[in-house]
Structure 1
Amino acid sequence: MQPFQLAIDPADIDDLRQRLSRTRWPEQLPGTTGWAKGVPVAEARAWAADLAGFDWRALQDELNALPQWTTEVDGATLHLVHARSTREDAVPLLLLHGWPGTVVELIDLVGPLTEPESPDDPAFHVVIPSHPGVGLSGRTAEPGWGVPRTARAYATLMAELGYGSYVVQGGDHGAVLAPHVGRVDAEHVRGIHVNAATIGFMPMGEVDEDTAATLSPLEQQRLGRIAEFMSDGSGYNTIQATRPQTIGYGLEDSPVALLTWIVEKVQAWTHDQTRLADPHYRTRHLADVLIYWLTRTATSAADNVYASYGDLFADPAAGAVSGVPTAVVAYAEDVSIRRFAEQAHRIVRWTDVDHGGHFAALEQPEHLVADLRAFVRELS
């Protein structure tokens, strides 16, 4: 373990701002309104102006106020935030971010998790890794960093940190990784808690008419969202899964290409659209963009995250039930359906919520933390 401090080169910020100033903006497509065909030009310009004016020194100071480390696991560099609680009864927690997030997506949770206001609330020793090939972990030097290998690396990481048992929480890509950590390290994982859960928590193919007829109205609604996503919202997924090298040229050469690639998902996956104008919410997502830009990991992230998903469909053992107690919190934008999730997980807690979006740690952090605490109490 080596202590880590983020040191942003002002020259890189100057280069970013110069590139933004030289953007060749497209014309708004005629006859389009809203976000139906992608990020509107006016919105892209506004986000780009915010990125150009981003307070990168404040971000650097905020991250460097946290205990950060790097370590080598299975030939790859892993960056992590490792914040220990002062409580002797604290529970080790592996906290996993999604895409297009970075560790920044989760740092607002560190304080409430490590030092809760009430002594009756569980406290946690929090470990937040940057996924291999993503953000501050830097690019990976070799292929094969899909979900199973990453899960094994995290089991190794937690052992190296001296945690004999621990809980895993993850959203989005983190919700894909978390159950796999349980599968490769079932002896030590006490429980798994997920939000924005997809692969392994929803139907992975067509649902026959007889099954569909037995779904509740809420489950029918989620099934409809899955169908809508597959027909109109999954283009980014397919491109990154099949052509990560090609999309990488634009994402690593043009800050506006990277920005709009991410902002389109931020808008689509935010339940309360007024949050997009909230300075803190907006700043956190801009920080993710900046970190991807500075580390040049958009290409490796696409490859390590999305190009690996095909293996999960092809390998039947990837969905084996680990037996680890698993909790799901399904917010208004989520698509998880319990009966399908129970085919691959030992579900002991399921919470359906009529509010909240994909980026739970940013959009509804209090509720997410409360649900995690309730789950951990039940494990005791």
Structure 2
Amino acid sequence: MPLTSDVQAFESHATDAELDDLRARLAAARLPEAETVAHGPDRWGQGVPLADLVEVVNYWRTGYDWRSFEERLDRIGQFRTTIDGLGIHFLHRRSARADATPLLMTHGWPGSIAEFIDVADELADPPEAGAPAFHVVIPSLPGFGYSDKPTTTGWGTEKIAAAWVELMGRLGYDRFLAHGGDWGGNITTVLAGRFPAHVIGVHSTFAEAPPGLSTDGLTATERQWTEETHHFWRHRAAYAKQQATRPQTIGYALVDSPVGLLAWILDKFAEWSDTEDSPFETISLDRVLDDVTLYWLTGTGASAARIYYESHNSLDPDLRVEVPAAITMYPRDIEKTPRPWAQERYRRIVHWRSPDAGGHFPSLEVPEYFVHDLQEGLGAVLSATS
């Protein structure tokens, strides 16, 4: 990629002193007593069980290798640019294929660019000749990872979407595809709705419907989806309310204590993944620690939480997506939208999948399916626009 004064190459490198400090804090951690629920199906009922946390902390302190993660980021290609006064970090993996299409991939919380680094190479240069190829761009959200932390309010999803259009333009990508889940899916929706001249089409694992739709006519499965989503927001979303109302308060613990940060994030990897007892049934321990360590070393526990303060429940109910959309509803995700409801916002759904396995972190849980589904879905989007 030809660099300009607007875009600079970047290398991530934690100092040995920072890594030593992390290990010292882990060794000196003061832990609570064990949970009071019995072992069995409900052993996560009060949050991360003590025995599980102790095991992960010990590995984080004595076995985990942060340097290998840094090397993988550098191999993909890291850059920074400043948009509206804020430094934005991103990965950029150009394809060798002449027919490749630019693809912007946006992560969510408690994720990061770590969600996509295992799939970037295959998306850029797929081994199958018939699969579409992409120039992959993976930005770190404002306040996350190596992007700057906003110092004023205003960096909500609408402003982020506009910044992503500017970012892609600086890379020479006036028109591009976009993918996202969680906050990334929200931002991808805003991108497609607000900037259809730039967004060819989208793939999303998030398809928030306009409010107030009736369950009349839904299948039994679709009705169950709406009930599960409602139950989630009513009974399991305390983290979102906390971060939407008091991100600064929880932020002190997340930036000061690596064990506190780990527990806050590990709880979501466990609850939101398609597993029975532990997230490590499908997601490698190293991948979870890549994500958590990135939050720790960049001190972004508070700044990342503020995306909830800026944008919780803020998706414009009147926003409509007219560009082609591919949507995948993974069975153990926390929000699942029936297709009839999704079609009220996404007006041209050209690819719809509800696979048998996978949760909120499909690129980490079921990476092979995730890549194939992304290729197939975006292929359908490209076909619909050709």
Q: State the TM bucket, normalised to the shorter chain.
A: over 0.9
Q: What residue number does 2:4 align with?
A: none
Q: What residue number does 2:338 align with?
A: 337
Pick aligned residue for 2:25 from 9, 16, 19: 19
What's the CA shift string for 1:19-57, capped at 9, x where partnerless?
A: 111111111233444100111111111111122132011
SS across alignment from 2:143: coil
**What is the distance in 2 between the residues matched to 1:232 and 1:22?**
34
Pick aligned residue for 1:350 from 352, 373, 381: 352
AA of the residue aligned to 1:276:
P
Question: In 1, are the aligned partners of 2:146 and 2:298 still within 8 Å (CA)?
Answer: yes
**What is the distance in 2 between the residues matched to 1:44 and 1:272?**
17
CA deviation after TM superposition for structure 1 residue 376, in Å: 2.7
AA of the residue aligned to 2:365:
E
**What is the distance in 1 between the residues matched to 2:161 and 2:258?**
31
Q: What residue number does 1:36 align with?
A: 45
CA deviation after TM superposition for structure 1 residue 280, in Å: 6.2
**Structure 1 range deviating more: 249-258 or 268-277:** 268-277
Residues 22, 183 of structure 1: CA spacing in aligned structure 2 closer, same or farther, 3 A cutoff?
same
Question: In 2, are the aligned partners of 1:138 and 1:297 still within 8 Å (CA)?
Answer: no
**What is the distance in 2 between the residues matched to 1:78 and 1:273?**
37
Q: What residue number does 2:159 align with?
A: 149
**What is the distance in 2 between the residues matched to 1:81 and 1:278?**
28
**What is the distance in 2 between the residues matched to 1:248 and 1:143?**
16
1:192 and 2:192 correspond:
no
Pick aligned residue for 2:11 from 1, 5, 13: 5
Pick aligned residue for 1:246 from 232, 243, 249: 249
Pick aligned residue for 1:366 from 356, 359, 368: 368
Pick aligned residue for 1:262 from 246, 262, 265: 265
**What is the distance in 2 between the residues matched to 1:278 and 1:177?**
30
How many residues of Structure 1 are paired with residues of Structure 2 in the alignment?
Answer: 369
1:376 and 2:378 correspond:
yes
Pick aligned residue for 1:85 from 95, 103, 122: 95
Residues 311, 263 of structure 1: CA spacing in aligned structure 2 closer, same or farther, 3 A cutoff?
closer
Residues 204, 27 of structure 1: CA spacing in aligned structure 2 closer, same or farther, 3 A cutoff?
farther
What's the CA shift string for 1:156-194, capped at 9, x where partnerless?
A: 111111112110011111111101111232102111100
Q: What residue number does 2:3 align with?
A: none
Where does structure 1 differ by over 6 angstroms across 4 or more consecutive aligned residues?
A: none
**What is the distance in 2 between the residues matched to 1:109 and 1:274?**
26
**What is the distance in 2 between the residues matched to 1:187 and 1:214?**
34
SS across alignment from 2:51: helix
Question: In 2, are the aligned partners of 1:275 and 1:281 still within 8 Å (CA)?
Answer: no
Equivalences for residues 34-73 of structure 1 within 5 A: 34-53=43-62, 54-73=64-83
Question: In 2, are the aligned partners of 1:114 and 1:123 still within 8 Å (CA)?
Answer: yes
Q: Percent identity?
A: 39
Q: What residue number does 2:128 align with?
A: 118
Residues 163, 362 of structure 1: CA spacing in aligned structure 2 closer, same or farther, 3 A cutoff?
same
**What is the distance in 2 between the residues matched to 1:7 and 1:261?**
25
AA of the residue aligned to 1:341:
A
SS across alignment from 2:24: helix
**What is the distance in 1 between the residues matched to 2:26 and 2:282?**
21
SS across alignment from 1:212: coil
**Structure 1: gaps spanning 5 or more residues:** none
CA deviation after TM superposition for structure 1 residue 273, in Å: 4.2
CA deviation after TM superposition for structure 1 residue 323, in Å: 1.0
Question: In 2, are the aligned partners of 1:239 and 1:247 still within 8 Å (CA)?
Answer: yes
Question: In 1, are the aligned partners of 2:153 and 2:310 still within 8 Å (CA)?
Answer: no
TM-score by length of 1: 0.92
Choose between structure 1 and 2: higher helix proportion.
1
Residues 31, 69 of structure 1: CA spacing in aligned structure 2 closer, same or farther, 3 A cutoff?
closer
Please tell me the root mean square deviation across aligned C-alpha atoms, in Å. 1.8
**Structure 2: gaps spanning 5 or more residues:** 1-6
What's the CA shift string for 1:290-315, capped at 9, x where partnerless?
A: 01011011111111x211234615x5
SS across alignment from 2:284: helix
